[in-house]
Amino acid sequence: MAHSDRYAMLLSALPYHGPLFGATQTPLSRFRLNQRLALLAEEELRCLEDARRLLEWAQQPPGRPDAQAVREAQGVIEGMSNGFVRELVTWRLEMRTLVAAMRHRHRGEAAPRERHWGFGRWVGHLMRHWNEPAFGLERAFPWLPEAERHLRTGAAAELERLLLGVVWDRLERLSDGHYLDFEAIVIYVLRWDLIARWTTYDGEHALQRFDALVERVSIPQAGR
């Protein structure tokens, strides 16, 4: 069966997801989704699973040193055969680094001294502009000032909604031009993951989980 035929068959079996914040449940169960994804070639399925594993916080092993986590993520991304997925995962991990930096700074922590604490091209910039509003990145990331406001006021649900919305909108823009290809399937699955996260959202539990995850990022403080 040709790739395009398999993609068309798979996508036709995936129900429309609808808007993120209007959803009360995922458009199909995780079991059914995995059944549909079995139509993918082995290499494609592995690429998708690697991406989801890197992007799912709950699957990150606790106690892993920051340098090791960054190195392993880079290795997985470099091994991905699909450039679209590589760029998308890189963008998400860079966004996660921005949010972690914002959280640490909100807790009064000084700028890190070493680059291994975060992922991607913005790590050095964050270190140099630690004390600036939005790290001086409000033009590149217009959502940062609003995220900082939610963090200051303790509006955990609003912060979660904002961050999920940023990712959802990015996937919406990336979907243009991808209709019956592997990239369209990747976008659908990552949207499914966002819906699953939002429809099972528990504000208090999510904040505790976020605090625990940030605790794992042991930023070396100046003077230590």
- Model pLDDT for residues 150-185, shown as the tens digit of each residue: 999 999 899 999 999 999 999 999 999 898 999 999
- Is 179 inside any structural domain? yes
221 bridge partner residues: 112
Domain assignment present for residue 117? The answer is: yes
* Domain limits for position 117: 3-216
CB contact set of 183 (below 8 Å; sequence gap of 6+)? 82, 84, 85, 174
- Residue 93 domain-assigned (yes or no): yes
Average pLDDT over all residues of the chain = 86
Instruction: Name, in order, each residue with C-beta under 8 angstroms of 195's C-beta and a sequence gap of 6 or more.
Output: 17, 20, 23, 25, 26, 27
Evaluate if residue 142 carries a pLDDT over 60.
Answer: yes
Number of domains in the chain: 1
**Rg of the chain over CA atoms, in angstroms?**
18
Is 74 among the domain residues?
Answer: yes
In this predicted structure, the answer to whether residue 221 has a pLDDT above a threshold of 50 is no
Least confident of 120-129, 179-188, 200-209: 200-209
Q: Is residue 222 part of a domain?
A: no
pLDDT at 63 over 80: no
Q: Is the pLDDT of residue 49 over 90?
A: yes
169: in domain: yes
Asked if residue 178 is part of any domain, the answer here is: yes
Name the pTM for this structure.
0.86
In a domain, 148, yes or no: yes
Q: 108 pLDDT band (50/70/90 cuts)?
A: very high
Query: 49 versus 68: which is more confidently predicted?
Result: 49
